A and B are shown apart, each in its own frame.
Chain A
Amino acid sequence: MAFYLKNSRNIINNLKSKVGLSSLMKQHSCSCLNHNNYCRFPASTATSPFAPQLNNLDLNSHKRGCLFMSQRFESTIAEKQFASVQNGEDNQALDFPGGKIIFSPDMRFLSESPSAHTYCFRVLDDNGQLIKQSNYIQVSEEIAVKMYSDMVTLQTMDTIFYEAQRQGRISFYVTTIGEEAINIASAAALTSDDFVFPQYREPGVLIWRGFTLQEFANQCFGNRADYGKGRQMPIHYGSNKHKYFTVSSTIATQIPHAVGAAYSLKMDKKDACVVTYFGDGGTSEGDFHAALNFAAVTEAPVIFICRNNGWAISTPTSDQFRSDGIAVRGQAYGVQSIRVDGNDALAMYSAVHTARKMAVNEHRPILIEAVTYRVGHHSTSDDSTKYRPAEEIEWWRMARDPVTRFRKWVESNGWWSSEAETQLRSSIRNQLLHAIQMAEKVEKPPVEELFTDVYDDLPSNLREQEKLLRETISRHPQDFPADVPH
């Protein structure tokens, strides 16, 4: 934000101290650097006058002092720092507000990337076998089987709804294929008290929390039973009951919202956190940067999960950013971060489980970069073979499928069989076909729902519009859909 001029005399008086000091700092800065590496910016309160501090420095006239006043950093810590200037034991460091700064005679630029790529945490190898000495959170049979079943449910739902869209029965759909592990494993590691601010490729979280296939179908068909009253495009699910905030189409807006909600949880002293999801493309939005910074500053219990799936519609990550992925950015904002193999359900579960504990117990934000691949097209409005090789997609679909990988681990524990597999897949397929048929039969939301919820109370102009619309429908019923009750 730009500077802002204040007119009020009152305010100018308040500003004077700051302006005066900064100019003074400029005057001194040369001599500071030339004569001594030691430079201290002591803090003072608004009430403590400037002059006495200057005198204090003058007492130690063998050193040159730079002075900078800020109301923000009034504290006893600052006084201690100031005292240590006078003692002058270490003339290679600067106690700057916010942290120590070490001086060096070397002129060295920070590299644009770390010397080695950030490690990616994984527990299961490509064949679904535990990697020796893995540091992971143990999952019980019950949780593991539910995780696997829900991953299969998500995969099957995507296949069938995608087909329904191709048949023209719904207008739009987005699949989560390739990212099932991120969806389900992260949800499994949370508790039902935690709030979720999704992007749009995380319906698996809802599956885990018990949102039924019928409820999914109702939303996609925008019928009367849809909790969104048919007001949003398909896949924009939302459910207060499941603490899953309605999907927002605008990229990355949910990230600062999540921080705000996390701050509220902290104010309410709740034993819970907020989890928000976004893609690699979303990290280019200003909202991502604002949210990370605010989360760090407000010490909000929020987990940022970035699904780095390589592609933002047709834009590859190489055109999106030049950093070593996303995890490194957390460090710049003072946020603990980890890179995880997003196709390894057990690694994902372990990382989110640990992150949750840290967020809730220590009141801190955590950034998780889940490395994965968007096996499906961006949406039903996209054909990704136009901009990426079909072999690349196929390799990820087959060789790196997170569902198969997790199944191998579950099977190796003796918790799953091919009979269970056949039975599960056919049961889900039937449930989905039934859900679609049912959703199609339910009538659309009634006319009045066009006008409700714009405000808490219906204002007079909307009441007038509704009356006018009803009159028009009754005069020209043939021009209006018959399945809309009025």
Chain B
Amino acid sequence: MLGIVRQKVLGQSLQKVRPGVSLLRSYSSAAKQMTVREALNSALDEEMSADPKVFLMGEEVGEYQGAYKISKGLLEKYGPERVLDTPITEAGFTGIGVGAAYYGLKPVVEFMTFNFSMQAIDHIINSAAKSNYMSAGQISVPIVFRGPNGAAAGVGAQHSQCYAAWYASCPGLKVLTPYNSEDARGLLKAAIRDPDPVIFLENELLYGESFPVSDEVLDSSFCLPIGKAKIEREGKDVTISAFSKMVGHALKAAEILEKDGIDAEVINLRSIRPLDRSTINTSVRKTNRLITVEEGFPQHGVGAEICASVVEESFGYLDAPVERVAGADVPMPYAANLERMAVPQVEDIVRAAKRACYRSVPLAAAA
């Protein structure tokens, strides 16, 4: 009884948040195409041009134009004081970035991959994330840590881990995960303008992918709100939550499911912390089924957190167990065949959605 009352109250509060969903943008009028790389590069360029306090630092960001060419042309335009090639010491340049942010500059720190941020995690967690609180608001840390995160292809365990769940577990940090060019532009600009430390998790395999962008997205004033998910595809039968590259997989899965008469709703989380719990719960209350997708490890993952949120807030609405589609619980193997099996594939999502909709024999029965 108490549970139902609570759900009603929550239902009302969730409705208030709904207008946020109307941020949904239509691609129909967009003719232009832009790669994620160009989106990130233009966002950096525009924010550096708009605010002299913004500067970029990391390994190979200057002369070499970035290990992935995200900083192409920036050294030439802004000079070596604002596009800073650093010695190869993650703990060093992360600490230096945090110190510059303490002072009042707005550093953008590039990790060649987020795996290497592990050498600097003390500065990210103990210094960047906690200083504003510990100093009672005297020291704000307006810094962005960005770089490729998660699995690339054929680069093994120490270059392929997803750190979304790690950083998202720490208060004081904001964690953003762009999927397409619109996300990359809007979220990176939001991250640089934000007064709090932001972890910006890109995906190497998406850098070269082109996505349609509207004129609005190309405008230099364009910015996306932090903490708002985006419904990439509306549907009524099952909710699929995903972030980064997995949003593409989820959309492909939704197309396949459509042929089988299953109308899937795909949520692009965009922000892992703050997590847009209301969009997720509103969707689940509509579809009554949930599949979470992520490349990271399953234990204590983003899917686990979403599952907990839905169980806490929308348990009575669920018509099927929540399914988590996640990376295998092993360090990433190098061999291509093993690697493919270690990361979620489109068909894994399709199968999970079918199970949730009772369109296939459950795993246990099949065994």
Contacts and interface: CB of A to CB of B under 8 A. Distances in A.
A293 B87 contact: yes
A223 to B, nearest CB: 12
Interface string B20-41: 0000000000000000000000
A10 B64 CA distance: 12
B105 A267 contact: yes
Given A7-B204, A11-B68, A255-B95, A264 B103 contact: yes
A260 B99 contact: yes
A75 to B, nearest CB: 12
Contacts of B94: 256
A228 B93 contact: no
Interface in A429-473: 449, 452-456, 459-461
A294 B102 contact: no
Contact of A256 (B69, B95, B155): B95
A260 B91 contact: no
Interface residues on B, range: 35 or more
A234 interface: no
A290 B123 CA distance: 13
Interface string B304-328: 0000000000000000000000000
Interface stretch (B125-133, B244-252, B283-291): B125-133
A71 B63 contact: yes
Contacts of B227: 459
A260 B88 contact: no
B92 A290 contact: yes
A265 B81 CA distance: 12
Interface string B189-210: 0000011100000001001100
B360 interface: no
Nearest to A230: B136
B86 interface: yes
Contacts of B90: 1
A5 B122 CA distance: 25
A264 B135 CA distance: 20
Nearest to B65: A14
B126 A253 contact: yes
A115 interface: no
B71 to A, nearest CB: 13
How many chain A residues sit at the interface, stated as a range, is: 35 or more
Contact of B138 (A7, A8, A239): A239
A132 interface: no
A245 B99 CA distance: 10
Contacts, number: 179
Interface string B127-164: 10001111111111000000000001111001100000
Contacts of A256: 91-92, 94-96, 98-99, 123
B95 A290 contact: yes
B96 A259 contact: yes
B208 A8 contact: yes
Contact of B67 (A6, A238, A267): A6
A272 to B, nearest CB: 11
Given A1-B88, A7-B153, A291 B95 contact: yes
Interface in A60-108: 71-72
Contact of A260 (B100, B116, B133): B100
A236 interface: yes
Interface of A: 1-2, 4-8, 10-11, 14, 46, 71-72, 195, 197, 226-229, 231-232, 236, 238-240, 245-246, 248, 250, 253, 255-265, 267, 286-287, 290-291, 293-294, 297-298, 449, 452-456, 459-461
Closest 7 pairs (CB-CB, A-B) = A260-B99, A256-B95, A290-B92, A257-B99, A260-B96, A229-B136, A260-B100
Interface of B: 55, 59, 63-64, 67-69, 81-82, 84-105, 107, 112-113, 116, 119, 122-123, 126-127, 131-140, 152-155, 158-159, 171-172, 174, 194-196, 204, 207-208, 227, 274, 277
Given A6-B67, A7-B153, A257-B95, 9 more contacts: A6-B68, A236-B134, A253-B126, A260-B102, A263-B100, A287-B122, A294-B92, A294-B96, A459-B274
